[in-house]
Structure 1
């Protein structure tokens, strides 16, 4: 009998978790449950740097290794898998249900809801800590601009 795993959240962390679980656990049935799927997640408009952000006390060699391995991992996912090969199906969720429902339907529930946990749990103490992303029409911006903690990335 297969292990039933629910991953709550379809952002970069939720989908990466779902893929890694599917790769690492034999005979597993992974379901991704989310309010929004791409292109309506934070990751679809967030800036993408292959450099750990706000990391202290780590050598440049270690950071370089992390960046290269991360880039290679995502590139390989893009080249090797399709949503069909992984068994992913995009579908609407009208009601997530109560904790008891997930507990009876799945053997394991992985919460990757990010800041969405604020309303999912609910927990008003959950707040974003990495900043805000704004998507604007600015076709004249053609280069990445970085100024301290602020950046602009053209589409």
Structure 2
């Protein structure tokens, strides 16, 4: 029986571990991470399913991973587990200063949006185009524990430990799934990785039932309803490693959200959050070529930027497919 180690316990690592156990229920698998939910970067994500270009990652792959994730979240929303996983279907407004808005479609290419009427556009004076659309929203503070419970119930093991180098794991495991996100900058010396700092505010505003996204130039402001609180975002500061909340950023963010929905001025702040998105020129999802120095094989799955939630289930399926090929002794040395 193969021994497998998954490095990282965010949404990418946990979904990979769960899908591996779905395919290989008797496999010996351990998740190793320095942080587990509720302390991972994934726990603070706005977590709206929105598929978009991720660096230079081939668009057909991004769409494939997004389609598979869409199917998973859709099925979960209409399952008995929807309440515990806190996945929900939501609708709302997306407006832009770009007059050539492209209507959103779901995984089958079916239209899930409509253009806003002239009366609706008057609600967003800075925008030149807009649409009303439907998608899925994940409360990661519930979804990650749901994934962890599913993983543990299937026999998965966990170790709380900081890994400084994969060399530490080579003697212990036959296969390593590296889902360490931004930590791969240190773990592997991957200089292509860089942070995109994001700051959000969680507020108690139960009267907000729809989502609102406003894109003015390169600045995106969003208001996402949730079962526990409402997420106000966001910021995207590339190359900024600061994990502390910034009063200036927070005030500017709150003001932008209040311009969209003035009733937010009456909301109670629940908490503030800062996270560093693991960005890269392209998602690294590949089998590392066999090394003459070790019998251990490594599959990398990191560098998703802000698209981790939107792509996680599809990327996990690709990990499983690579693992299946490896167990079938096929040759996989090319990048995806």
Deviation at 1:138, TM superposition (A): 3.3
1:82 is aligned, of 128, 131, 150, to 150
Distance in 1 of aligned mates of 2:211 and 2:197: 17
Normalising by structure 2, we get a TM-score of 0.37
Which residue is equivalent to 1:120? 187
Structure 2: give runs of 5+ residues left out of the alignment. Answer: 86-145, 225-229, 232-336
Distance in 1 of aligned mates of 2:69 and 2:53: 14
Structure with the greater alpha carbon radius of gyration: 2
Superimposed CA distance per residue, residues 52-71 of structure 1 (whole angstroms, 9 cap, x where no aligned partner)? 1337977xxx8995464031
Which residue is equivalent to 1:31? 30
TM-align CA RMSD: 3.4
Contact between 2:32 and 2:158, CA under 8 Å: does it hold in 1? no
* 3-state SS, counterpart of residue 176 of structure 2: strand
Structure 1: give runs of 5+ residues left out of the alignment. Answer: none
Q: How many residues align?
A: 148
Higher relative contact order (CA 8 A, sep 6+): 1
Contact between 1:6 and 1:31, CA under 8 Å: does it hold in 2? yes
Deviation at 1:120, TM superposition (A): 2.2
Superimposed CA distance per residue, residues 73-119 of structure 1 (whole angstroms, 9 cap, x where no aligned partner)? 655675896343123455531x4254333111000001111112112
Structure with higher strand content: 2
